[in-house]
Amino acid sequence: MIEANQIVRQSKFGIEELLRANARVLYEYFFSTRHVGRVLDFLFYEAKDALAAVDDGEVLEYRVRQILETSIFNGFANYRTGEKSKCIEIEYGWDDVRMITSAVFWVEQTCAGFMPGEKPNDGVAGRIQKFIENISTLADEVVVRFDPRSGRFQIVGIINTAGNDVATKKAIDYVDVSALSPSEDGNSTHSTQTAASTVQPEALSAADIKDFTEDEKKFERERGRLTHVKEAEEEKQAVIEARVHELEERKRKKAMLDRRSTGSTVEDPEIISRERRSHENLADLEFRDREKPSKGTAFSFVEHLEKQANDQIETKKRTALGERDRQLIADTSSDVIRVRGGGSESEQDGPEVVLKTERLSTDEEAVSVGAIDRINTRDDFLTVKNLSIDLSKAPVESPLSEKENEDVEEVLQLLLKAVRAELVVVLGDMPEDRFEEIFRTISIRLRETFLQGIHHITRVRNIQLVTKIRHYKEQLSLMSGNLESVKAQLEEAKATVKETPVATDSGPTNQTGQAMSKGLLQDVVREKAALNEKVRQIDDHLRKREFDFRTLEASMVEQIRLKDEGVKQKQFAVEKMKEMMTTMMENLERYKKLVATSVSEAEMKMKFAASEKLLASAKESNEKLTKRTDELQKKWSEEFTARSQAQEELSRTKRHFEEFQRRTSEASLKSVDTRELAEVTTARDRAIKQGEELRRQNKELQEKLNALMGSGSKVAAGKQPGAAKAGETTDAESRHKLEHAAKLNKALQEELSRQKKRFDDLKLEETKLRVEVAKLQNQLKNAGKSPPGGTKSGFGKTSK
């Protein structure tokens, strides 16, 4: 429990927002109804100063206590299903003008129509409706806050403690949380009569919620939603309700004062000191309480159910409540919850508050009173019998008690006032004496009729009661008759057993007995055989069933084993997939790093285009050079052939010349004739001439060839100085340049192909990775969907 001294939150709808700054708020969570009385005692001990400051503090305590208890028990009774622990949150706070209670619990989301005047859609809604009506009779104002989406239900009861500001008209307000946005939550509300869709909630302080609801109603009236006639009826109804409520309040106050006149709950200094001590050291108190339940303190709560029942029977006799309440308790004895308000030791058997609530089935506090539920023993029977005999002394017609007569008189006066008001409206033009005469006549008849009705109701009630008791008595007499007859039969049987003589072995009786025993033995043997046969059949059947079961078990075990193997395989596959996935992720990371560190694709393309262009130009120049080289080689070979032919001709001429010289020398030696000599000389001259001519031609050819070779090397070597000096030098240079160009071309082509290959490899690897990732994801997805016992991997479920 906590005290909230400062109200700081404005966005929430706790009861703190409904109280002033000097408020105190206590709250507690109930997970069972077992300790309700003790907790509430503690709550009221905390609020004793506030209660003492109010004129009718006892009545106020009574009202608040009843609101809280009704809320808690109804909360547990109507709690939604499916909860492992039911939790009721209770808030209870006060300031100098108000005392507010709140109970929060959870009901079914489908619960609807529980507001008074609506049609409940189920039994829970009906019970909640009655519960709200009960609370509305105790509190000055009730606010119901419900969230249909979650089922969170909150009921807030507001009691005005400042006498002058007490509103006589009761109001029930409803807040549908689902109709509010979170920012508006707690800052707006609307009445039951207003539709959430038509009324736009305005921002206002929660403390002004009452004014707000009044404004809402006024606004609705102005819009014509409530007609003039309805308004007048409402006002009349309100006057009557207020009067009835005032009457009830007065009665309740009287009852409370009577009850309190015999003792005090918080005024006793001994109790106050003990409670203060317990508050300061709660643990010690609890240990003491557990060892020995403290009776008569503010924390005392009768825990033993038997004692509760006895106390209540005795209390009924002494209670200060009216006869009608006692009758009410007697009629609904199984639904009564008794709560002791506390007191001193001497007050242990003193007056108690007896509350009637709806039927509760949740906890042990709901006890049956005044009767034994089931007759199990003879003592129980006798007790019920004596009880019914006492009840039968009740008169058929019981006159009203003095207090009831007063009540009837008050109600009658109220009724007459209302009738007079109606007559004034209808017979306003009638003379006064005539009007008084008519009213007197009407009032006499009304009084007679009313009293007759009251007596009739009392008579009927008593007759019903007496009839019921007579019926019970008849049943009891029948039961007692049966019991007597059973007892008689029992005695007779006992006597018969005692009087039955033991059979002796003598004469015909013996023979008859033997025959009878023989027959009996035969029957027994027959029965035994039949039983043996049946036992055999059952054994066979059992064996067969056992065999079937074992077969089934073996097959099931085999199936389980197969499934386990399947699961293991799946798990293994999943693990493998995970490993592969990890590898893939690493590759992906490596690839991403590689991509990040290498040049971009556009740059690569540009390089590739430039390389291609360079390659094309190199190819073109290479082709040109090759062509030129071929031409030069061809020319060179032609010239070389001509030169070799010339050299061959020269050598042949030289051979002819040498032959001629040899012949000449032979001729000179052999003294040949003059004519022959002349001819030889002429031939020699001609040969010399021919040789010179050939030398000249050879020289010219050589020069021409040199010239040709020089021009070719100039073209190939870019006119290098000294390039045309010799044919071999120019040729070597050309070949070298050609080879260089080819090398360059080859290197460029290799670089280009390498880049292309790398680019293609990377693309291929990326594609492969994508395919493999998709494949793995699909496999993992399939693995995640397969058998229920299989491992559900987080990766496997997610492939798309």
Closer residue to another protein in complex, CB, 93/157: 93
- The candidate with the shortest Cα–Cα distance to 209, out of 229, 186, 183, is 186
Closer residue to another protein in complex, CB, 613/792: 792
Q: Does 38 bind another protein (CB under 8 A)?
A: yes
Which residue stretch of 80-88, 265-273, 609-617, 702-710 sits at the interface with another protein (rule: CB under 8 A)?
Answer: 80-88
Three-state secondary-structure class, residue 205: coil
For residue 590, the minimal CB distance to another protein (Å) is 13
Q: Does 272 bind another protein (CB under 8 A)?
A: no
For residue 492, the minimal CB distance to another protein (Å) is 53
For residue 398, the minimal CB distance to another protein (Å) is 44
CA distance 341 to 352: 7
- The candidate with the shortest Cα–Cα distance to 156, out of 91, 109, 108, 60, is 91
For residue 3, the minimal CB distance to another protein (Å) is 7
Q: 667-672 long-range CB contacts below 8 Å, 24 or more apart? A: none
How is the beta sheet containing 24-30 ordered, strand by strand?
Answer: 24-30, 88-94, 98-106, 152-160, 141-147, 171-176, 190-191
Which residue stretch of 53-61, 251-259, 389-397, 787-795 sits at the interface with another protein (rule: CB under 8 A)?
Answer: 787-795
286 and 345 in contact (C-beta within 8 Å)?
no
Residues 628-667 touching another protein, rule: CB under 8 A, are none
Identify the residue among 46, 56, 80, 741 touching another protein (CB under 8 A). Answer: 80
Closer residue to another protein in complex, CB, 85/504: 85
CA distance 365 to 351: 18
CA distance 639 to 644: 8
DSSP 698: H
CA distance 556 to 554: 5
Q: Does 749 bind another protein (CB under 8 A)?
A: no
Helix (DSSP H) and strand (DSSP E) numbers for the chain: 17, 9
Q: If residue 60 lies in a helix (H) or strand (E), which one and from where to where?
A: helix 57-77
Identify the residue among 24, 42, 114, 156 touching another protein (CB under 8 A). Answer: 42
Identify the residue among 16, 95, 347, 365 touching another protein (CB under 8 A). Answer: 16
CA distance 75 to 523: 68
Q: Does 282 bind another protein (CB under 8 A)?
A: yes
Closer residue to another protein in complex, CB, 12/543: 12
Closer residue to another protein in complex, CB, 282/531: 282
The size of the interface with another protein (CB under 8 A), counted in residues, is 53
Closer residue to another protein in complex, CB, 84/374: 84
Q: Does 148 bind another protein (CB under 8 A)?
A: no
Residues 82-121 touching another protein, rule: CB under 8 A, are 82-85, 87, 89, 106
For residue 552, the minimal CB distance to another protein (Å) is 28
Q: Does 608 bind another protein (CB under 8 A)?
A: no
CA distance 329 to 334: 9
Which residue stretch of 68-76, 81-89, 479-487, 608-616 sits at the interface with another protein (rule: CB under 8 A)?
Answer: 81-89
**Burial of 276 per CB tally in 10 Å (0-12, 13-18, 19+):** exposed
Closer residue to another protein in complex, CB, 305/747: 305
CA distance 217 to 435: 38
Which residue stretch of 279-287, 403-411, 429-437, 708-716 sits at the interface with another protein (rule: CB under 8 A)?
Answer: 279-287
Q: Does 28 bind another protein (CB under 8 A)?
A: yes
Provide, for the chain, the percentages of residues in helix, strand and coil under a 3-state DSSP scheme, each rounded to the nearest 5: 65, 5, 25
Per-residue 3-state assignment (H helix, E strand, C coil) for 385-451: HHHHHHHCCCCCCCCCCHHHHHHHHHHHHHHHHHHHHHHHHHCCCCCHHHHHHHHHHHHHHHHHHHH
Paired tokens of 528: 């035994």
Closer residue to another protein in complex, CB, 16/95: 16
Q: Does 305 bind another protein (CB under 8 A)?
A: no
Q: In angstroms, how far is the first alpha carbon of the chain from the final one?
A: 53
Identify the residue among 283, 396, 425, 497 touching another protein (CB under 8 A). Answer: 283
The residue type of 224 is G
For residue 31, the minimal CB distance to another protein (Å) is 6
For residue 774, the minimal CB distance to another protein (Å) is 11
Q: Does 497 bind another protein (CB under 8 A)?
A: no
Which residue stretch of 10-18, 212-220, 407-415, 716-724 sits at the interface with another protein (rule: CB under 8 A)?
Answer: 10-18
Identify the residue among 11, 346, 377, 517 touching another protein (CB under 8 A). Answer: 11
Residues of this chain that bind another protein (CB under 8 A):
1-4, 8-9, 11-14, 16, 28-32, 34-35, 38-39, 42, 80, 82-85, 87, 89, 106, 147, 149-152, 177, 182-183, 185-186, 282-283, 286, 290, 581, 585, 773, 792-795, 797-798, 800
